[in-house]
Amino acid sequence: MRTKTGAIATYSPAAVKLKEEGALAGVADLVLVGMGKVVFVEMKTPKGTQQDTQKEFQRNVQRLGHEYHICRSVEDFMRVCKEAFMVK
């Protein structure tokens, strides 16, 4: 499949299946629920960047008062968990 820019896009069978089942583009990789909060976490490589759909999802969940974090390592993720849920 070619995009408007002429680049060739490839899709994994799992991604196609998720889309068929109604998954929204841009949804965070992880959704943490507990202690009366919902925290959304997007996992990225050290140089990874958000897609436009991910940025839009982030704006929407933050507008609704939820936390959204981009983690680039397991250590980042553990810090977010500890801060969000006050785990010692």
pLDDT range class, residue 75, cuts 50, 70, 90? very high
Pairwise CA distance, residues 12 & 47, whole Å:
22
Please state the pTM of the whole predicted model. 0.75
Structural domain contains residue 3 = no
What percentage of residues in the chain have a pLDDT greater than 90?
Answer: 67
The total number of structural domains that make up the chain = 1
40-47 long-range CB contacts below 8 Å, 24 or more apart?
40/66, 40/67, 40/68, 40/69, 41/68, 41/69, 41/70, 41/71, 41/77, 41/80, 42/68, 42/69, 42/70, 42/71, 43/71, 43/72, 43/77, 44/70, 44/71, 44/72, 45/72, 46/72, 46/73
Structural domain contains residue 70 = yes
Range of the structural domain that residue 38 is part of? 25-85
